[in-house]
Homo-oligomer: A and B are copies of this chain.
Amino acid sequence: MKQLPTNEILVGDCIELMNQLPENSVDVVFADPPYNLQLRGDLHRPNNSKVDAVDDAWDQFDDFAAYDQFTKAWMSAARRILKPNGTIWVIGSYHNIFRVGNELQNQGFWLLNDVVWVKTNPMPNFKGKRFTNAHETLIWASKTEKSKYTFNYEAMKASNDDLQMRSDWVLPICTGHERLKGEDGQKVHPTQKPESLLFRVLLSSTNPGDVVLDPFSGTGTTAAVAKRLGRKFIGLERDETYAAASRERLRQITDLADKEALQVMQSKRKEPRVPFGRLIEEGLLHPGDKLVSPCKKYVAKVRADGTIMTPKHTGSIHQVGAAIQNAPSCNGWTYWNLQSDGKRKVPIDLLRQKIRSDMQPRMQ
């Protein structure tokens, strides 16, 4: 294949398709490979509805060895077609990202950043057995240590209130109108990524006219954002249904650099939430400290987990405050005060203020 087939979605095995492309011809590869989730049984929500899990055939591998072999194969094929100064992005979760990152380093890619996509609205952990899995990880790497790669530092900084763009990106998952639905109203693809994520990826690491290749194109989010941003794209997808959906999606995109898309990037600056437990973690309060009510009539003891305890009640600062006053609710932050020996009592809200002011330089 002499001519690079840009702005197309090609159907077939991504490794075979990449092997047909000329070497050193692509500026950026964005890859969203199967995560190898290794799910065991069904999972039900507290209301007994069944979680619609990713149980597709394409995410099934016999073991780590099989997954590693697959990773090695597609990644070396991608490496061949990547320009010497090109970069690669790979997204994954803890199920697969350590296999991926390991192989990237083994193949000689030079890691530039790992970026965490912090989800504003992740699925909760229904059984209460782990931390809510609220993020995914992207790895950004250049082809070699010496690569003169593209990083649009100023554009990133400008889109982040003139603060350097950080390695933690807080973005919502793909829902609503953006989520492709079939005629049955069901989602077309189980793992469609939000355009805002790809927008930041492509805006940061490509120039207009660059060629972006996605070996696991799915419903074509990478292609769609590339088109909006005036980049050339090559989408490789094994499933004809996904490819058809993405072609239709691309057909509806006409404008380059739609201003509306830019607005997705603007981070909302709101006051950071500081849970009561943080005061203890930060050492502003200690387990065993005494909190007193405004009139000092009630005393509560602070426990290690951020709950407080009176002779009759145990729970959060809000719950206990409400219970004591026999009220439906209570703002524990303003109700409770720290009473240190020989000192004046201090509302715990002041301690929260202190943490917030320490957080102020935080870029986002």
Contacts and interface: CB of A to CB of B under 8 A. Distances in A.
15 contacts: A44-B329, A94-B101, A98-B98, A115-B131, A116-B118, A118-B118, A121-B361, A128-B154, A155-B305, A159-B276, A162-B318, A258-B301, A261-B301, A264-B307, A265-B314
A128 B122 CA distance: 31
Given A105-B64, A196-B283, A262-B303, A130 B112 contact: yes
Interface in A79-103: 93-95, 97-102
A272 B166 contact: no
Contact of A159 (B129, B164, B275): B275
| Leading 3 A-B pairs by shortest Cβ distance | A159-B277, A98-B101, A159-B306
B288 A258 contact: yes
A166 B155 CA distance: 30
A261 B287 contact: yes
Contacts of A15: none
Given A196-B282, A288-B261, A135 B116 contact: yes
A41 to B, nearest CB: 11
Interface in A111-165: 111-116, 118, 120-122, 124-125, 128-135, 137, 139-140, 151-165
Interface residues on A, range: 35 or more
A178 B281 CA distance: 13
Contact of A151 (B130, B171, B228, B305): B130
A186 interface: no
A281 B203 CA distance: 10
A188 interface: no
B121 A164 contact: no
B260 A309 contact: yes
A158 B286 CA distance: 16
A27 to B, nearest CB: 17
B170 A280 contact: no
A117 to B, nearest CB: 10
A137 B114 contact: yes
Interface string A255-274: 01110111111010000110
Interface in A274-297: 275-278, 280-283, 286-288
